[in-house]
Amino acid sequence: MSKPSDLVQGTLDLLILRVLALESMHGWAIAQRIRQMSNEELRVGQGSLYPALHKLEQNGWIDAKWGESENNRRAKYYSLTRAGRKALQAETVQWERLSAAIALVIRPT
Amino acid sequence: MRWIRVLRLRLRSLLRARQVEQELDEELGHHMQRQIEAHLAAGMSPEEARRTALLEFGGIEQRKEECRDARGLVFVEGVWQDLGYALRTLTKSRAFTTVAVLSIGLGIGANTAIFTFVNAALLKPLPYPQAERIVALQERMPESGTTTLVHPVSFVEWHERARSFEALAIGQPLPVNTDGADGAEMISGFWSTAGLFRVFGVAPALGRAFAEEESRPGAAQVVVLSDGYWRRRFGADFRVVGRTIRMGGSQATVVGVMPPGFRVGTLNTDVYYPLPLDRSKPEAVGSRSFQCYGRLRLGVSLDAARAEMTLIADEIGHEIRAEKGWRVQVSDLRDALVRDSRPALLLLLGVVVFVLLIACANLAGLLLTRSVGRRSELALRASLGASRFRLVQQLVVESLVLAGMGGALGLLLGAAASRGLVFLAKDAVEFGQMADVRLDVSVVAFTVALSVLTAILFGLVPAWQVSRFNLQAALAEHGRGGGDSRGQHRVRAAIMTSEIALAVVLLAGSGLLLRTFANLLQVKLGFEPEQVLTMKLFLTDDAPRRANLVESILERVETLPGVRAVGTIQFLPLSGWTNNGPFYFVGRPKPTDPMNMASDVSTVSRGYFEAMGIQLVRGRSFDLRDRMQSPRVAVVNQAFVDRYSPQQDPLGQVILGDWANPRPTEIVGIVGDIRHNGLTTEPRPTVFLAQAQVPGYITFVVVRTSSDLQGMAAAVRREIQQVDPSQALTAVQSMRQYVSAALARPRLYAVLLGGFAALALVLSAVGLYGLMAYAVSQRTREIGIRMALGARGPVVLRSILAQGVRLAVIGLATGTLCAMAMSRLLTALLYDVSPNDPLTYVGATVVLGGVALAAAFVPARRASRVDPILALRYE
């Protein structure tokens, strides 16, 4: 199991943006979705999720709206903005380059 | 669009902090609930589910804080942090903070105090509607160009011809004898034509103003009260309109009451009453002794009015020969009111700006010293990741905190000082809005702006240095204790020399004004002001009765015990008033231009010269022989003799003058010259006429006494009441008070400039000492090495002193040059001392040189006694 501190800095932002690219959802759901999508490998530190969300909102990459959750509770829903979509693309490219480079180093052929 | 959303969000977290906080609670609460539910579904007990969820989350409060961090404005937070940091460091270095805050406080306080005056006199709007349309008119003599008050004849002509004015009025302050709560009382009146209220655009608060037809000869007497007199005399009774009050020998009906605060120019007036001006015979009410005010028509500019009045003056000069060459001066009302005090205020403002500059230099020096001492601290912060911008921001915040504290102190000091100044300046500066000298929004705004400005001024140097500093060099220097870099040395030298130069300018300026004051104290007055009591009477009856009244008063007062002499005069010396008119010698050819032969004229009674202590040079003074029916006689002063009769003996000559009730008058005596028109004005030719022959209206009783002045005043008052119970007395003052009032403005200059120069001296002494002490401490190690290598104490002392002396000499030279260039501005204020007075400059240089030397000597001496071993271990 991977602990949140093991996540490379900035990776959490990328994961959030990726998850929100599918549909808008609230904080708890985002954490669940990341876990599911990573086959239970990545468990987002629930505490660090919210500061990250608020920072992304401040950056203008995601937008927040209050709405009804699936069990009829008021919840804050986040969705990707246009700027966020662009950022996601850029970050993804960046990430792929980085992980490829790391892979080259640790598994030289 | 992104930036709009970002801005909205940031503003929201700043301004709607509570709502944002609630939403954060709700959001996290929702998460916790979902998490607990998930755990319950997995089969945990409620207690366990809750605990696990909390553990997983890891400290809700910390998380909230992190969210706030993510939201908060980074810059604002940084400033907040810096603020706290600045306050902590400033409280730690208490000595530094005290000196810094005191310096700024004194500098800003001085500025605030003077600005309250400048604000009241020059900036605040005058208390009239559309005051910018009100003008003051004066007449200008041919040739000399001296301005005079307005002749009623001129006024009538202007009134008929001029199209520039919506309203035009003349008037003069003229006291009124009336009945007060305890007997006869003299109140101040303003005697004017009906247009006055339209000129100033102020209508009575109660009743009405007097009408045009009430300002004609023979009209029923009416009067308009001022708010102050209405409250004082009638207890603010609303039914006052229609009542009558005694005005001199007749009764006048009250028709209106002016609103509070209304005044004509600078005058404090109790009642306004109509001037009975006969348009066909205007000279009946008087001569060039009237103030004239006008209100410009809408859309008429001051220049247009000036042009029209120039044309009109030409026309009048063409038609009336006696008026040839006279011009009209039209000035903006405020200009006319502050003409006298504006240079004084601007001078003082300039002076306090200098004081503030010295305070700033002081602060810059102190902060520079400090920032150099803090280099290692800043280097450490920089190496831990603080950006250069962040470091500069921290220093700027620190400067602002200092300036803020200094500004607050300055505001307090300034408020207190301005109250003191009002007291100090009350005889010296007059601009009608003296009551408005107080702290108001604009003064506070001025102080705040000034504080920020000073923070920028003195905070720039250290901030600039930090922005340039080299991290590696700074870290490397740490612990080496080497001297400071060349750049710092140069900045410090610049600060020290400019501080010295600024102080020299102030010291030299105040020296010149102090010498002026000293010279004025030495002026030979020509009369003896000690033990002389004066009081004012206003006589209203016809000429013989006025003459008799004065004679009876003289007879009674003469016999009082302790009275050595008594007499009367129309206008006292140094009271600022005088009459003037052309004359000629009967039997000699008449001068072609009457103004070429003019003399001051004064009406005095027998006993006046003795009472005032004026020397009788030759002939006789007035006595009981001089009666209404006896041949007219006059006494002239020495200046008159020197100017108009230097060859021929003036005694026995007959003159005829263009003054009240002219007849051929024989000169029977010559008296010594006195300073009648001011301490610095050379005595002018003067003719004294006999009160018993041409009695005036305004009359000052002058009593020379050997006893106590207060007691004598009461005794004289009793005697006058015995002669005429309806006769009121005012302006009971000693002659010494008039002399002192004449000295008021030079004294104010001397005291203020002297005070500010002393302040500047102290500030710069502190600043110089601080900088020198620091420079020496930076060299402690070097000194230690030199001493270890055999340098002796005196050698070290000399080398350090030499450094200080070099800077001092540069500063003194620069300062002296600046002072000599600027002293020309003072010329008008100086008396009997040249703006380049060598003694003053040498004095200023010596004093400041001494201060600079002492500031260098103390730390130098300490350094020369340093133990080399300790010095090498220093730091």
B124-163: per-residue pLDDT in tens? 788 899 999 999 999 987 767 778 888 888 999 999 999 9
Point out which residues pair with A66 in neighbouring strands.
Answer: A76
Quick: pLDDT tens for B503-523: 999 999 999 989 988 888 888
Residue range B180-200, pLDDT digits in tens: 777 778 888 999 999 999 999
Q: Smallest Cα–Cα separation from B270: which of B316, B224, B313?
A: B224
Highest mean pLDDT among B346-350, B570-574, B702-706, B714-718: B702-706
- Interchain contact, A28 vs B2, CB within 8 Å: no
**Mutation for testing the A interface, residue in B31, B52, B56, B73 having most A CBs under 10 Å:** B31
Taking CA atoms, what residue in A is nearest to B52?
Answer: A46
How far apart CA B652 and CA B648 sit, in angstroms, is: 10
Angle, alpha carbons B62-B67-B69 (nearest 5°):
95
Chain A residues with CB inside 8 Å of B58's CB? 45-47
B77 inside 8 A of chain A by CB: no
Which H or E run contains B730?
Answer: strand B729-734
Q: What is the pLDDT of residues B750-798, one digit of tens each?
A: 888 888 889 888 888 888 888 888 777 777 777 878 888 887 778 888 8
List, in sequence order, every residue forming a beta bridge with B140; answer none if it has no partner: B147, B327
Q: Which residues contact B271 (CB under 8 A, 6 or more apart)?
A: B176, B187, B188, B189, B190, B223, B224, B225, B226, B229, B247
- Residues of chain B with Cβ-Cβ distance to A60 below 8 Å are 2-3, 5-6, 9
> What is the largest distance, in Å, between two alpha-carbon atoms of chain B?
138
B34 vs A: CB within 8 A: yes
**Higher pLDDT, residue B352 or A48:** B352
Q: Are B568 and B604 in contact (CB under 8 A)?
A: yes
From the list B380, B385, B376, B400, the residue with the least C-alpha distance to B463 is B400
Rounded to the nearest angstrom, the minimum Cα separation between B446 and chain A is 38
Confidence at residue B73, expressed as pLDDT on a 0 to 100 scale: 53
Side-chain-facing half-sphere of B736: CA atoms under 13 Å: 7
**In this predicted structure, what is the pLDDT of residue B471?**
58
Q: Which residue of B has its CA nearest to A55?
A: B70
- The answer to whether the CB atoms of B34 and A51 lie below 8 A apart is no
Q: Which residues contact B730 (CB under 8 A, 6 or more apart)?
A: B175, B186, B535, B536
d(C-alpha B192, C-alpha B565), whole Å: 38
Q: In this complex, is the C-beta atom of B67 within 8 Å of any C-beta atom belonging to chain A?
A: yes
Return the structure tokens found at B202.
Answer: 């102020």
pLDDT classification of B218: cutoffs 50, 70, 90: confident
Q: How far apart are CA B56 and CA B107, in angstroms?
A: 60
Q: Six-digit token pair at B85?
A: 């940091």
The verdict on A94 touching B (C-beta cutoff 8 Å) is no
Gap from B393 CA to chain A (nearest CA, Å): 23
Nearest CA-CA distance, residue A95 and chain B, Å: 23
B95 pLDDT above the threshold of 90: no
Interchain CB distance below 8 Å, B9 and A57: yes
- Give the span between the Cα atoms of B701 and B535, in whole angstroms: 5
**The pLDDT of residue B606 is above 70:** yes
Cross-chain Cβ contact A45/B58 below 8 Å: yes
How distant is the Cα of B66 from the closest Cα of chain A, in angstroms? 6
Q: Report the residue of B1, B2, B19 to disrupt the A interface, i.e. the one with the largest count of A CBs within 10 Å.
A: B2
Q: Which residues of B fall within a CB distance of 8 Å from A74?
A: 26, 30
Please, what sign has the CA dihedral across residues B512, B518, B519, B521? positive
Model confidence pLDDT, tens digit, residues A63-102: 888 888 777 888 889 998 888 898 889 888 888 888 888 8
**β-pair type (B698-705, B183-187):** unpaired
> Are B217 and B278 spatial neighbours (Cβ–Cβ below 8 Å)?
yes
> Does residue B20 belong to the interface with chain A, where contact is any CB pair within 8 Å?
no
Residue B12, pLDDT score = 73
User: How far A104 CA lies from chain B's nearest CA (Å)?
Assistant: 31
Query: pLDDT tens for residues B732-748?
Result: 889 988 888 888 888 88
Residue B339 scores a pLDDT above 60: yes
The band of B208, judged by pLDDT with boundaries at 50, 70 and 90, is very high
Tell me, what's the pLDDT at B273?
94
The one-letter amino acid code at B687 reads V
Residue B46 has pLDDT above 60, yes or no: yes
Interface-testing mutation among A40, A58, A70, A79, with chain B (most B C-beta atoms within 10 A): A58
Instruction: Report chain B residues whose CB lies below 8 A from the CB of A51.
Output: 63, 66-67, 69-70
Q: Say yes or no: ipTM exceeds 0.95.
A: no
pLDDT at A6: 46
3-state secondary structure B510-544: HHHHHHHHHHHHHCCCCCCCCCEEEEEEECCCCHH
Taking a C-beta distance cutoff of 8 angstroms, is the pair B137, B293 a contact?
Answer: yes
Q: Do B62 and A47 touch (CB under 8 A)?
A: yes
Instruction: Say yes or no for a CB contact (<8 Å) between B67 and A59.
Output: no
Instruction: Quickly state the pLDDT bin for B258 (edges 50, 70, 90).
Output: very high
Instruction: Give B391-428 pLDDT, tens digit per residue.
Output: 777 888 888 888 899 999 999 999 888 888 887 777 66
A40 CB neighbours in chain B (<8 A) are none
Cβ distance of B57 and A75 shorter than 8 Å = no
A70 touches chain B (CB under 8 A): no
> Could you tell me the pLDDT band of residue B654, with boundaries at 50, 70 and 90?
very high
CA angle B631, B636, B639 (to 5 degrees): 160
For residue B251, list its beta bridge partners. Answer: B246
Note the maximum CA span of chain A.
Answer: 55
pLDDT of residue B479: 45
C-alpha B532 chain-centroid distance: 31
Residue type at position B299? G
Amino acid, single-letter form, for residue B102: L
Maximum mean pLDDT: which of B10-14, B515-519, B636-640: B636-640
Whole-prediction pTM? 0.69
| For range B47-65, the mean pLDDT | 81
- Give the helix ranges, DSSP H, for B621-661: 638-644
Q: Contacts of residue B66 in chain A, CB cutoff 8 Å?
A: 47-48, 50-51
Q: Is the dihedral of CA B156, B158, B163, B169 positive or negative?
A: negative
pLDDT at residue B385 tops 90: no
What percentage of chain B carries pLDDT values higher than 90?
30
| Cβ separation A50–B67 shorter than 8 A | yes
Q: Retrieve residue B550's tokens.
A: 């004065």
CB B66 to CB A28 under 8 A?
no
Please report, as a single letter, which amino acid is at residue B56: E
Is residue B349 packed enough to be buried (19+ CB in 10 Å), middle (13-18) or exposed (0-12)?
middle
Please tell me the predicted confidence (pLDDT) of residue B288: 77
A47 touches B: beta carbon within 8 Å: yes
- pLDDT at B568 (0 to 100): 94
A27 touches chain B (CB under 8 A): yes
Structure confidence at residue B1 (pLDDT): 60
Residues B860 and B767 sit within 8 Å (Cβ to Cβ):
no
Least confident of B26-40, B98-112, B480-494: B480-494
pLDDT at B567 over 90: yes
A50 touches chain B (CB under 8 A): yes
B132 touches chain A (CB under 8 A): no
What pLDDT band is residue B481 in, cutting at 50, 70 and 90? very low
User: Helix or strand or coil: residue B107?
Assistant: helix
CB contact B42 to A (< 8 Å): no
Residue B17 touches chain A, beta carbons under 8 Å: no
Q: Taking 70 as the threshold, does the pLDDT of residue B436 lie above it? A: no
Q: What residues contact residue B221 under an 8 Å CB cut-off, 6+ apart?
A: B247, B250, B251, B252, B253, B273
Contact at CB, B57 and A46, closer than 8 angstroms: yes
Least confident of B104-108, B166-170, B284-288: B284-288
Q: Is B35 near chain A, with CB under 8 Å?
A: yes
Of all helices (H) and strands (E), which one includes residue B585? strand B579-585
Q: Is A3 on the interface with B (CB under 8 A)?
A: no
- Structure token pair of residue B278: 């006969």
Could you tell me which residues are beta bridge partners of residue B179? B184
Distance CA B333, CA B266 (A): 11
Round to the nearest angstrom and report the end-to-end CA distance of chain A: 28
Selection from B195, B86, B222, B214 nearest residue B137 by Cα: B195
Name the residue in chain B with its Cα closest to that of A59: B6
B63 in A contact zone (CB under 8 Å): yes
Measured between alpha carbons, how far is B620 from B635 in angstroms, rounded to an integer? 8
Predicted local confidence at residue B468, as pLDDT: 65
Query: Any CB–CB contact under 8 A between A22 and chain B?
Result: no
| Reduced 3-state DSSP string for B8-56 | HHHHHHHHCHHHHHHHHHHHHHHHHHHHHHHHHHCCCCHHHHHHHHHHH
Does B27 contact A27 at a Cβ distance shorter than 8 Å? yes
Coil, strand, or helix at residue B431?
A: coil
Task: Note whether B31 contacts A50, CB cutoff 8 Å.
Answer: yes
Which positions in chain A touch B33 (Cβ < 8 Å)? 73
Q: Are B478 and B379 in contact (CB under 8 A)?
A: yes
The fraction of chain A above a pLDDT of 90, given in percent, is 1
Give the residue on A whose Cα is nearest the Cα of B11. A58
B867 touches chain A (CB under 8 A): no
| CB nearest to B63's CB, from A50, A57, A74 | A50
Q: Which residues of A touch B3 (CB under 8 A)?
A: 60
Task: Identify any residues that bridge with B137 across adjacent strands, giving them in sequence order.
Answer: B292, B330
Distance, CA of B442 to CA of B411 (rounded, Å): 12
Question: What's residue B679's pLDDT?
Answer: 85
Q: Do the beta carbons of residue B273 and residue B221 sit within 8 Å? A: yes
B170 bridge partner residues: B292
- The answer to whether residue B94 scores a pLDDT higher than 60 is yes
Q: Is the dihedral of CA B112, B114, B118, B121 positive or negative?
A: positive
- Please tell me if residue A18 touches chain B, with a CB cutoff of 8 Å: no
Query: Look-up: residue for tokens 């003289």?
Result: B554
Does residue B167 carry a pLDDT above 90? yes
> Do residues B309 and B164 lie in contact, with contact meaning Cβ atoms separated by under 8 Å?
yes
